[in-house]
Structure 1
Amino acid sequence: MAKKARLLSLKEQLEDKNRIIILPGVFDALSARIAEQVGFDAMFQTGYGSSAALLGMPDFGFLNAGETVDNARRIIRAVSVPVLVDADTGYGNPLNVWRLVQDLESLGAAGIFLEDQIWPKRCGHMIGKDVIPKDEYLPKLKAAVEARKSKDFIIVARTDARAPISLDEAIERGKAYKKAGADVIFVEAPRSVEELKRVADEIDAPLVANMIEDGVTPTLPAQELLKLGYRIAVFPLSALYSATYAMREVLTELKKTGATKETRKMMVTFKDFNRFVDLDKYMNLEKRYT
C-alpha cells in the first residue's frame, strides 16, 4: 500500500511562491467536510458564515469569542487539513487576544485573521465601519504573535482602513503590521483591480485577497490574483450563499407543492449522504462493541 503523503501546514504551503492558496469559507463541520472532500488543502472559518449559521444573524458584532472557539473545535475535528480562523478583532484587549490565540492553537487551528476595526465590528464590505488607532491595534498584534507556541500558527493582520480613511492609510498600516510580526497582510475591500495591484506593489509581504461575490472588490480568478502578487485567495461566502440558495429553492417548492420533485437535482441522495458522513465506519464500529 502506498504511503499517504504528509499534509502540509499552511505555513509550508505559503513557502511555494509559484502557487496561490485558495481558501473556501466554511461555517460548520459539514461545510468543512465538503471542502476537504472536493480537494482543498486548507480552509477558512468565516465569521460572517458562522454568525449566520450559529445565530441566524448578520456579521455585525453579534458573534462572541466562545462561539467562535466552539465552532472552530467542531470544524477542526471534522477535517484533517489546516483551518484558518476568523478571530474578528480578538473580542477585547491584548489579553483577550492572547488567550484566544492560545485556545485556538491548542485546538489545532492553523492561524487567525485579526482585524483593526472598532468593536462591534461588521463585515468588511458593509458601510459604516471604522478602525481603531494603529497604536491600539499593534499591542493586540504583539499579543497574538507572542501567545502562539509554534511559528506554524499564522497571524494574518487585517486592516479595514481603506473605507473609513484611505487606501494610503491601509497600505501604511499593512507595512507597520508586517514590521510588528504579522506573517500575512490583508488589506480589506480594495475597490478596483488598480487598487489590488497597488497594495501588492507597495507591501512586501504575503498578501490575502478577499473575494466576496457582489462585494466591493472585483472578484478575480485565483491565478489572476497570483499574477498581481497575492498568495492567498479567500472565497469566504461562496459555500454559504450557494447552500442558502439551494435550501430556499427546495423549501419553497415543498411549501408550494407539498413535494420536492423539481428540486431533487439540487440534492445529494440518501445513500450518497450516508457515504459522505462515513455511516459504514460507525456501523462497523457499533458491531465491534455489540
Structure 2
Amino acid sequence: MPRQSLKPLLARGKCLVAPGVFDLISTHMLNQHGAEATYMTGFGVVASALGLPDAGLATYTEMLDRARRIAEFSKAPVIADADTGYGGLLNVRHTVRGYEAAGIAAIQLEDQEFPKKCGHTPGRRVIPLADMVRKIEVAADSRSSADFLIIARTDARTSLGLDEALRRAEAFAKAGADILFVESPESEAEMETIGRHFHQPLLANMVEGGRTPVLPRARLAELGFQVAIYPAAGFLATAAVLDRMYAHLTTTGSSLGAPVPVFDFKALTEIMGFPEVHAFERRWAETA
C-alpha cells in the first residue's frame, strides 16, 4: 500500500501537477516547495544513475532502488515510471508488487516493444494490443490495495496515429487502468480530442522541447486532463546551470564571478538533514 494516495487529489476536480525528480537532491529540493505530487522520471533516473540514454538499459532492480529511495524522502505521493514492466506477465506482477511495497502511489506502464525508448524520441514501436491488455489486467490483479494506481500509457500515436492510440487507451481502461496516458499528442487540437474521448482520469506529459505543446495548468484542466507531469523541467534546468558553471570554472579557474546563481551552502546542509546529525552528535558524541 502506498505511503500516500493520489485518490483524494484526483477527486478535487483540478489538474494535479507532478514535477519530475531524478535523484535525492532533486527530491529534497522539491519538498521545499509543497508539491502536490512527485514524478520519478525514467529519462532523468537513467541519465543520473547510469549516465545512459533512456533506451531500455536500466533494469528493474536499478529502477526499484531509486523508486524506493525517492518514495522514502518525498513529502508528496510519488508517480513512478516502470517502463514496460521489465518483461512478461510474471515480471509485470513482480514489478507492481515491488513498486507498491516501495511506497509508490502510482505505477506507469507502457505498451512499447522492448527495449523501450523515451516517449518524445523517434523510432518507438508498440506491442500487440492484446498483449498490453493482459499486462494491465495482471497489474491490476497484482496490487494489494486499490489506492495503488495503475497508469496505462500508449505510445501508438507517433507510429500508428491518434485513432489507434485512442482505441488502445479505451482497452486499457476496460482492463483495469486507473489513469490513461496517451503519449505525445502533437497539437492542442489532438489533446482536446483525447480529453473529449474519455471520462476516466487522463495524464498529460509536459516535456519542454518535446512533441506535445506545453500548456498552462488551467488549460490542461479545461481540456480534460487530471494529471500533468513535468519530467524534464528539473534536469533540463540543472543541466543548463551546470553547463554554464563548469564552462566558467574551466575557463577562469575559479568560481568567482560565476554566471549563474549558487544555492546557499548552509541552506543546502539544512535541507539535507545536517542539523539532525549535529543534534545527535551533541547528545551522543564520545569526545568533546
Normalising TM by the smaller chain, what interval?
Answer: over 0.9
Say if 2:108 is the partner of 1:89: no
Displacement of 1:80 in angstroms is 2.6
- Which amino acid in structure 2 is aligned with residue 210 of structure 1? N
| Alignment counterpart, residue 66 of structure 2, candidates 65, 71, 74 | 71
Match of 1:212 in 2: 207
Distance 2:101 2:200 in 1: 27
Q: Is the 8 A contact 1:163 1:189 kept in 2?
A: yes
Say if 2:44 is the partner of 1:44: no
Say if 2:1 is the partner of 1:12: no
Point out the more displaced range, 75-84 or 171-180: 75-84
Q: Is the 8 A contact 1:11 1:153 kept in 2?
A: no
Displacement of 1:260 in angstroms is 1.3
Q: Deviations over 1:210-239 (max 9, x none)?
A: 000010111111111001110001110000
Distance 1:271 1:207 in 2: 41
| Alignment counterpart, residue 143 of structure 1, candidates 92, 116, 138 | 138
Say if 2:249 is the partner of 1:287: no
TM-score normalised by length of structure 2: 0.96
2:157 alignment partner, SS class: coil
Q: Deviations over 1:183-242 (max 9, x none)?
A: 000000000000000011112210000000010111111111001110001110000000
Match of 1:33 in 2: 28
| Alignment counterpart, residue 277 of structure 1, candidates 272, 276, 279 | 272
Distance 1:213 1:264 in 2: 23
Displacement of 1:264 in angstroms is 6.5
Distance 1:84 1:215 in 2: 20
Displacement of 1:126 in angstroms is 0.5
Match of 1:23 in 2: 18
Match of 1:155 in 2: 150
Q: Is the 8 A contact 1:45 1:84 kept in 2?
A: yes
Q: CA RMSD in A?
A: 1.2
Q: How many residues align?
A: 283
Q: Which runs of 4+ in 1 moved over 3 A?
A: none
Q: Deviations over 1:76-112 (max 9, x none)?
A: 1122321111000001001101011111111111011
Q: Deviations over 1:170-192 (max 9, x none)?
A: 00111110111100000000000
TM-score normalised by length of structure 1: 0.95
Displacement of 1:37 in angstroms is 1.1
Distance 2:4 2:130 in 1: 35
| Alignment counterpart, residue 262 of structure 2, candidates 245, 267, 279 | 267
2:39 alignment partner, SS class: strand
Say if 2:100 is the partner of 1:105: yes
Displacement of 1:8 in angstroms is 6.1
2:176 alignment partner, SS class: coil
5+ long unaligned stretches in structure 1:
1-6
